[in-house]
Structure 1
Amino acid sequence: MELNEVVNGLKDDEPLLDSVLVHMGSMYSSLGKFDKSMLSYRRALKILESKYGNKSTLLITPLLGTAKVLGSTGRATKAIEMYHRAISILELSRDAESEELVIPLFALGRLLIKEGRAVDAENPFNRILNIYTKLYGEEDGRVGMAMCSLAHAKCVKGNVDEAIDLYRNALHVLKDSKYMALDDDIMEKMRIDLAELLHVVGRGKEGRALLEECLLITEKYKGKDHPGIVTHLINLATSYLRSKDFVEAERLLRTSLDIMSKTAPPDDQSITFPMLHLAVTLYNLNRNEEAEQLALDVLRIREKAFGKESLPVGEALDCLVSIQTSLEKDGSELLQLLKRVLRIQEKAFGRESKAVVETLRKIVFYLDKLGLKEEKFPLQKRLSMLRDKYKKTMQY
């Protein structure tokens, strides 16, 4: 007999039934059985409210469990209400700066960001930062983690400069406090996120310094031939590509391929990512024959791994077209490749997506070049309509 059948046969005044129901709610939530989880939490809340009233701190665990389930099943508004109720209970029974508030505040902030409400998310993350600062001082590692969460909210909101400052301060606090190891995954992600932000605002040199720090730390703790280094090599190479230092980008990408060749089979799909980056790099160095061969290899491996109509294949095809255009390959063959790219993009993003605009432009160019006017005009009209659509969107 299932546990819920046993529990359903018990009366609400059964000793410890509320604790069993809370445990069941958590268990069902972990298993993805959200309907059963919700029923367990709701019954537990009903029992606890009848015993202790609707302001008891004993309600916190089932309230947070209910909120989590609601958030996981797309009922964000109700979930937010539950989080606010839990916060209000704790504020009344403890105080507005109790450390017990951190868990519901953090969960609320994450949900608000997920729902696109970054402005609202700032408040709970600010409160967490203030709580930890007051309790433990400005140099405590928990303060660093709170800064990181607030930085993420600032970034989503669009306050990139503020986010950069917070990320920098967070990394400084975490490093000095030795709250976590330098090679911890969380620290690494913070450095990478900050590096990306710095690149976005045109501070690529500072961003590269962080990416180089990631590489050096991984080399120190895992060794220079560890597969974990590959990500950092590719990130650094991408940074150099952005700054048009193609020679350094090539060196880093060849190093990453050399490392991967020792641990991954030659036709493993993971190797295609540095390969395609290298193809782009060689294209920019006017070494188009080498670039073409790499792009063809990537295309072959990805077709086998992902299927001929997949997005990774579309990406490889798009790169191949650019390279073969420089090699002045046959226009009709390039047109067929572009039509494949368009089909893939339409399937993945929709016929009116931004992704198809550039591909349509290329197709219209080759149709015009090949004198295929009857096929060109409807696509040219479609392209013009899409351009007008996105121009109006930008104006708003």
Structure 2
Amino acid sequence: MTEPTDKWHDLLHRLAMGEVVDWDTQDINSQAEASIVEQLKSIEAIQRVFATQKAEPTTVKQRTEAKLFEWGHLHVVEKLGEGAYGEVYRAFDPILNRDVALKLLKPDQLATFHSKLFIEEAQRIARVRNRHVLAIHGAGVNQARAGFWSDLIVGNTLAGQVSMTLGDLLQVASSMSHALGAVHQAGLVHGDVKAANVMKDQNDQLVLMDFGAGLESGTEHASNHSIGSPMLMAPELFQQQPKSPATDMYALGCLLFYLASGQYPVKGENILDIVAAHQQQKYLKLLTLRPDLPASMSQLIQQLIAPQAADRPTAFEVNKRVEDIINEPARLKKRRLLLGIMGSLLVGMLLASTGLYFANVERQKAVLEQQKAQTVNDFLHEILGSSFNLGTGREVRVADMLALAATNAKNDFKDQPKILANLTTTLGQSFQNLQMMEQSQDQLLKSLSLHQTLYGDDHPDTLQVKLLLSRTEESMGNYQASGDLCQSVITQSQSKPQLKKTLQSAEVLCAIVKTSLAEYAEAEAVLSRLIAEAEQAAKPTNHLYLALMAQSQNHFNRSDFAAAVDAAQKAIETIRQVKNFKATNLLAANNQLAVALSSQGKYAEAEPIMVEQLELSEQYYGVNNMGYLQMLINLGANLQSQGKLTAAVKIQEQSVSLIESLKGSSDRMTLSSQMNLANTYVSLNRLEEGEQLMRDVLKVSTNVLGPDRMETFMLQYNLGELLNNTGRFNESLSLSQQSLPQMQTTLGDAHLVTLLTQDNMAVSFTGIQQHQQALAYFKTVLQGLESGFGQDNPYYLLVKGHQVDGLIQAGEIEQAAGMQQQLIEVQRRVLGETHEQVLQAEVKLKGLLTDLQNQ
């Protein structure tokens, strides 16, 4: 039960945030509480007046922009747009010392009636004070033109935005319910809630605009006021009933329906079609158009567009429903996660003894093994089902309970080695699923020793433990140990038909190790065979999922990103069809897909996937975990590539700090995250910091991982690029020439890093005026990129731009202009006609053509 003090604090917080409070629903149990409510109402009234007022500097700005004209005290600077009756301008208000938006009635609409309506619009808006409603500063008539001025909102409307994510839909629903709650509380109806009247500003805050169709709530003139958008008009408005708060809520429901699906709930080419659809109640169902949305969200939108006004929720009720939808997953997800992992552990234990059936032992022994497994199940159930052992005052994570189970197991089963063998296997696998590899390795080594002692080295259950340990060793970068283990399993299972699945798992693991050792062709041969065999069986299995994931990673390491995306998508489709699949497997597949998309240059497509997976990984793993950190690193790299540098550097600095605390300064993930951070420093023009960090990381990578590792090659390429960008061409060329032979030997001539290193060399040759060598390298690199990746990738565009610069430096202006035209054509296709890079490239082409004319 909520404490009284908490209740008042909650209400005060909501008022401070500009939210609407329904005072009629508050429980008042005494005169003292009634007095507190009256005080809060006074605070609300004050807040309404001052909510949108912001402190401004007292110094007067010096304006250098030319004025179009003056309107009263306002200096009108530029026209922003116009509607049927009004024109909108940007103006400077010397009194407020800020830019404002000025809306003027059109010169041909100067009738007294229209001017009166125009001023009334300003008066209506001015009565509403809410951070999600446009703030009006004043109104009047000057130079025979009626007008009002308001906050200047810099941003874009929601017009044209469709297929919004759940998060974006919730933002619209929350912001507009707050806005409409304030409008309705002021005794008004907006009258034209639609996408074009909702603006998203530069801070991603949504603001409700344009009260031109608004009315006094309940006025007798409402039925005669027909301004509005037919597709968003409530059924009662077509029956000449007055506008009301309920008609605004219907319009909000239509807006959300459209933003979610790209369609309105009723279809019609004209008013008569729309009226007929309402009369026949032919409404589209959002659930069929967006089955991915939670039922609670779809239900809310459908209730907003209910045919009967009385059945629609109020703005206050929508706000509460949105809060419930936002908060609904948090504890429920955690509970489901605990139950899901508990269930997977129990099933895992019950299946652990099935190897005994393969060994054809007597039935009685199998029954005894099942009983031992049940003992382990009971133990885990007790541990996972009780949080009191871990103390109070913090949320209990699965990892905490597994650590407790590992500690208690030593004492609880020290005289029962067979049960302890099963338990350590389960704990090792569970720690592995949580990306806690050191703990997994510790448990699985104990399990392997117990299994070898109890059952022998070639027993089916012992082989399963070897496979688990091999996967953990590979994740830790111990490739030799991992390869030895999986090869041992292959040798011991390939002559036993009953162990076919064990053999397949071992072959996948060995292929993963080969990929990590850059033996790509050997890995692909094994994986292609295993995938073909599994697809012929036409039954999705975990083995097929693992093989597809391994293939995706192999393609990725070979820089074949399109194939990596395809394999990751197939892995996602496969794992979804596997009965009782692990949530962590789906998480890993989505992460693999997002990383591959980013490497294709599809950063915007990958970002929402990464954000969602990061949130899930925090719930599954916690933040001090390698699984979470890997996704944090990926998101930081994605943001960096999109140019969102401030957000990227914050995430990357966080990831470096966390990884160093968990893995130390010489771990490969630490080095990768430091490399990303160094690149972001450089992009932020923090060149000295970026270069020093890059050199430090390169030294550690070379000494610890080796000169022939991918991390080392990437660092050498990035450092060479930095040296070129700072004009140290000879130093960059020397570094590239030293590293290129090793890259060609290890990665091959067609690998992306090999090609980009040669691009560095070409830029260096350009810088030292050796143009023929530069142009030869540019040609080689572009041919390799086009052959391996096609033209529609960011690396091709990068090198093409370098080639144009090289031609310009060589004095080949005509050829440079031709190449620039080719570059623009590719950019338009990939980036779009209005992308900033396209516009800059077009300006550059004009300059080249001008130079040609002047020659």
TM over 0.5: yes
Indicate the residue corresponding to 2:650 in structure 1.
251
Distance 1:318 1:24 in 2: 46
1:151-190 deviations in Å (ceiling 9; x for gaps): 879989969689759837965x88xx9x3665xx323213
Deviation at 1:302, TM superposition (A): 1.0
Find the partner of 2:739 among 334, 337, 341: 341
Find the partner of 1:61 among 498, 501, 504: 498
Amino acid at match of 1:211: M
Deviation at 1:296, TM superposition (A): 1.1
1:57-96 aligned at under 5 Å gives the runs 61=498, 64=500
TM-aligned CA distance change 1:391 to 1:270, over 3 Å: closer
Q: What secondary structure, in the 3-state scheme, does the structure 1 residue paired with 2:539 have? A: helix
Find the partner of 1:167 among 559, 563, 572: 572
Amino acid at match of 1:335: L
Q: What secondary structure, in the 3-state scheme, does the structure 2 residue paired with 1:347 have? A: helix
Distance 2:627 2:752 in 1: 34
Contact 1:25 1:36 in 2 (8 A): no
1:212-264 deviations in Å (ceiling 9; x for gaps): 33333333344333444211211211222343222211111111112123234
Distance 1:261 1:337 in 2: 28
Find the partner of 2:539 among 128, 132, 137: 128
Indicate the residue corresponding to 1:115 in structure 2.
528
Indicate the residue corresponding to 2:585 in structure 1.
186
TM-score, with structure 1 as normaliser? 0.55
Find the partner of 2:713 among 309, 314, 339: 314
Indicate the residue corresponding to 1:32 in structure 2.
488
Amino acid at match of 1:61: Q
Indicate the residue corresponding to 1:233 in structure 2.
632
Find the partner of 2:722 among 312, 319, 323: 323
TM-score, with structure 2 as normaliser? 0.28
Q: What secondary structure, in the 3-state scheme, does the structure 2 residue paired with 1:340 have? A: helix
TM-aligned CA distance change 1:393 to 1:367, over 3 Å: closer
Deviation at 1:346, TM superposition (A): 2.1
1:38-71 deviations in Å (ceiling 9; x for gaps): 6x65xxxxxxxxxxxxxxxxxx527x48986997
Contact 2:568 2:589 in 1 (8 A): no
1:101-133 deviations in Å (ceiling 9; x for gaps): xxxxxxxxx999813686775442xx325xxxx
Indicate the residue corresponding to 1:135 in structure 2.
none
Equivalent residue pairs, number: 294
Tell me, which stretches of 5 or more residues in structure 1 are unaligned?
A: 1-17, 42-59, 75-109, 130-141
Distance 1:339 1:244 in 2: 30
Aligned-pair identity (%): 17
Contact 1:335 1:363 in 2 (8 A): yes
Amino acid at match of 1:289: E
Q: What secondary structure, in the 3-state scheme, does the structure 2 residue paired with 1:128 have? A: coil
Q: What secondary structure, in the 3-state scheme, does the structure 2 residue paired with 1:286 have? A: coil
1:334-386 deviations in Å (ceiling 9; x for gaps): 2111112212212313457665333334324434543568xx75x97687567
Q: What secondary structure, in the 3-state scheme, does the structure 2 residue paired with 1:262 have? A: helix
Distance 2:682 2:488 in 1: 48
CA root-mean-square deviation: 5.1
Indicate the residue corresponding to 1:332 in structure 2.
730
TM-aligned CA distance change 1:367 to 1:324, over 3 Å: closer
Q: Does 1:302 align with 2:701?
A: yes
Q: What secondary structure, in the 3-state scheme, does the structure 2 residue paired with 1:297 have? A: helix
Amino acid at match of 2:745: K
283-292 or 303-312, which deviates more: 303-312
Indicate the residue corresponding to 1:260 in structure 2.
659
Find the partner of 1:220 among 602, 615, 619: 619
Contact 1:264 1:271 in 2 (8 A): yes
Contact 1:151 1:164 in 2 (8 A): no
TM-aligned CA distance change 1:300 to 1:213, over 3 Å: same
Distance 1:212 1:180 in 2: 22
Contact 2:645 2:680 in 1 (8 A): yes
TM-aligned CA distance change 1:114 to 1:297, over 3 Å: same
TM-aligned CA distance change 1:153 to 1:324, over 3 Å: closer
Contact 2:633 2:655 in 1 (8 A): yes
The structure with more strand, counted as a fraction of residues: 2
Amino acid at match of 1:334: S
TM-aligned CA distance change 1:363 to 1:224, over 3 Å: closer
Distance 1:266 1:150 in 2: 32
Q: Does 1:273 align with 2:688?
A: no
Amino acid at match of 1:128: K
TM-aligned CA distance change 1:279 to 1:235, over 3 Å: same
1:62-108 deviations in Å (ceiling 9; x for gaps): 7x489869979x9xxxxxxxxxxxxxxxxxxxxxxxxxxxxxxxxxx
Distance 1:276 1:303 in 2: 13
The structure with more helix, counted as a fraction of residues: 1
Contact 1:151 1:162 in 2 (8 A): yes
Q: What secondary structure, in the 3-state scheme, does the structure 2 residue paired with 1:225 have? A: coil
Find the partner of 1:363 among 750, 758, 761: 761
Deviation at 1:292, TM superposition (A): 0.9
312-321 or 23-32, which deviates more: 23-32
TM-aligned CA distance change 1:383 to 1:356, over 3 Å: farther
Distance 2:599 2:785 in 1: 22
Distance 1:159 1:333 in 2: 35
Deviation at 1:273, TM superposition (A): 0.9
